[in-house]
Each structure stands twice: as C-alpha cells, then as structure tokens.
Amino acid sequence: MLTLLWDAISELSLEERTKPIHMLTSEVGVETPAMTAYISRTLQKIQENANKQNLPFIVHSVQPLMKESYWYKVIGRGVLPPSGNSRLRWCTDSLKVKPMQRKMKEILIESQTTNVIECFDEYDGVLMLAVRNEESARRRHSIQKHEISNDSLFSRHNDMKNILCFNPVKFLTGDEVWMLLLDRGLLPFGVDVEEMSIQYGQAMFECGIKTGGNSKEMLVELQIRVVGVGLV
C-alpha cells in the first residue's frame, strides 16, 4: 500500500506536494531482536529515501504504554491471552489501535488541519489502510460495517469521526499483493522484497500474536508486520 501512495505522490510536481504524509507503524513489544533491527533499518530507509526524493513522508513508530503492553497484562495482571475463537481480542486494541490513535490525534492537533477534502468537508484527515476483504471473515465484516458503499474504497473510521479511511487494496488477494511486490523487486523507498519475504515468511499478512484454539494453547509468534498508514 505504501508503494501505491509513494508512486502517486512521486507523479506530483514539487509545488503540488504541499501536505505532509505521516506513515505510522506499530511495534507491539513481542518482536525478536532480529525483527526489531529489521524494522528499524526499514523505517530509516523509508525516511532517507523520502528526503532524497523530496517527498513529504514523515515516519513514526508507535508503541503501547507500559500498562497496555502484552507482558504487563498477561504476566503482571494475569489477563488471559485471547484464544483463536475469542470475539474480544484485547491485544489488537491495546497493542496497536490505542497507540496509533494517540499518535493520530497528536498529529492532527499539531498540524491544525481541518476540512482537508473539498468533497468531504467534515473530515480533517485521510487514513490509508492496507486492509483486505480476504484477510478473514472478521476483517471482511469490519470493513463492510464501516464502508461508505459496497464498491467504494472509502470507509468511516470506527472511533474518530473526523477521519476518512481509504482502503486501496480492499479487493486484492494476498497472492495478488505478493505478485505485485515481487514484480517490483526493489520498492521505491529502498526496501528489498526478497529480504522482506525472508523476514516475514508465510506470516506476511497475519497477526504477529498467534493463538490456538484455547488460551492454554496460546503461542506467541515473535514477529510483527510493518503496516504503513498515511495520515494526510
């Protein structure tokens, strides 16, 4: 998804690149040292290439607060990890959603932007998300719940009413995304697709915390996927 946005902004003249684009990624705190190092290198490459190409991207990495962290809740407070059949996945909200929303609100306050889209004057920002209908039945239901229409790539944000969500890969399959990435080889912001595939393997489009059929069978897979979202 970041590649799509990068290519689109690159086609604009320097005079048209007036709005900062904030790319947010979340580190949930259960990564291996190797994955942490890879994420750090990747974010550095993205920012360096944005600067070299005169693109208005600003990279942010967010983390959960101590009392939101996985280990504090599971080990410190004895909260049961969500099972594979659980309808309430507190890990997503605590480890990713809350840190992301705090940063988004901070960005909006600092930028003091309002009504950034002429045809949607009630929105103060656009959030690009790499969500896809094919990910899971739960994801598809969530997308359909907030989408503006069945064939639209736009949707309403669940909590922040002044944010319009844009889901450009909504109708793509995982295989289609991989084929597009592999065809590029080297992404425009300096990330090598082959190295990325080695780092993430088959879990490229999956949650970094794996759960079995019940909490006792919970397995924490120590990795995280980098999901870029642009807040325009």
* Residues found in the chain: 232
Q: What are the phi and psi torsion angles at 24 (to 5°)?
A: -110, 135
Report the CATH number of the 2-11+20-231 domain. Answer: 3.40.50
Q: What is the pLDDT of residue 113?
A: 62
Residues 214-224 have pLDDT tens digits of 433 333 333 33
Contact assessment for residue 43 and residue 37, using Cβ atoms and an 8 Å cutoff: no
- pLDDT for 14: 95
Residues of the chain scoring pLDDT < 70? 83-88, 113-121, 201-232
- pLDDT given for residue 162 in this prediction: 87
Q: What contacts 24+ positions apart, CB below 8 Å, involve 153-161?
A: 157/127, 159/101, 160/101, 160/104, 160/105, 161/122
pTM, to two decimals: 0.79
Name residues whose C-beta falls within 8 Å of residue 195's C-beta, 6 or more positions apart in sequence.
Answer: none
DSSP secondary structure string for all residues of 172-230: --HHHHHHHHHHHSB-TTS-BHHHHHHHHGGGTTS-SSB--SSGGG-B---------EE
Supply the pLDDT for residue 121: 65
Residue 170 has a pLDDT of: 93
